[in-house]
Amino acid sequence: MLKLFLPNEHVKSIFDIQPEYLKLKGIRGIITDLDNTLVAWDEAKATPEVVRWLEQMEAHNIKVTIISNNKEERVTIFSEPLNTPFVYEAKKPLSRAFKKAAKEMELTKEEVVVIGDQLLTDVLGGNVAGFYTILVVPIVETDAKITQFNRKIERKVLGYMRKKGKVSWEE
């Protein structure tokens, strides 16, 4: 059961995920979380670094879709200027939004990676739906109220997994 919370990989940030690496793994699409994965949860627009990262993925023919549990306005304000497809109010960790994103990209589960900063939504949802998952360190240590509760549970799960030797990284 706990293995559903275990990502396939863990990196410091999205910028550590390079298109050449993804292509070697047969990855042609990315489903990514928004808040604290691409930008801080309270930052409305993409940073120049995020724009460059998305352009780099596009240049390598890697499709990107943003899925977020946030409201339509928040996700639209961020995604539309980037011409990036998105799903809002995704109800992660339920798998419907993950499957919808892959279908809209016209890719199989084996061709898509799920990237996010939360075990309880991004990693669990991606794993349950059958995708390869990459956990990133949250961009900022502060969170929206709803996420603060999830972080407490995540710390307990990560602590248990560390003791069992399942993970070796630090928070």
CATH architecture of 2-163: 3-Layer(aba) Sandwich (3.40)
pLDDT tens for residues 47-77? 999 999 999 999 999 999 999 999 999 999 9
pTM: predicted TM-score of the whole model, two decimal places: 0.87
Strands 132-136 and 112-116: parallel
**pLDDT of res. 14:** 97
* 156 vs 119 pLDDT, higher one: 119
**What are the residue boundaries of the structural domains of the chain, listed by start?**
2-163
**pLDDT of res. 1:** 63
Report DSSP state, residue 2. Answer: G
Report DSSP state, residue 40. Answer: -
Residue 168 burial (C-beta neighbours within 10 Å; 0-12, 13-18, 19+): exposed
Residues 6+ apart with CB under 8 A from 63: 28, 29, 30, 57, 85, 105, 107
Alpha helices in the chain (DSSP H): 19-24, 48-59, 72-79, 96-105, 124-128, 145-163
pLDDT tens for residues 134-165? 999 888 765 556 666 666 677 777 776 677 67
Residue 13 burial (C-beta neighbours within 10 Å; 0-12, 13-18, 19+): middle
Q: Report the DSSP beta bridge partners of residue 120.
A: none
Alpha helices in 82-138 (DSSP H): 96-105, 124-128
Rounded CA gap, 118 and 139, in Å? 11
Residue 120, pLDDT above cutoff 60: yes
**Exposed e or buried b per residue across 102-122, where buried means at least 16 C-beta atoms within 10 angstroms of its C-beta:** beebebeeebbbbbbbbbbbb
Q: Report the DSSP beta bridge partners of residue 11.
A: 136
**pLDDT of res. 88:** 97
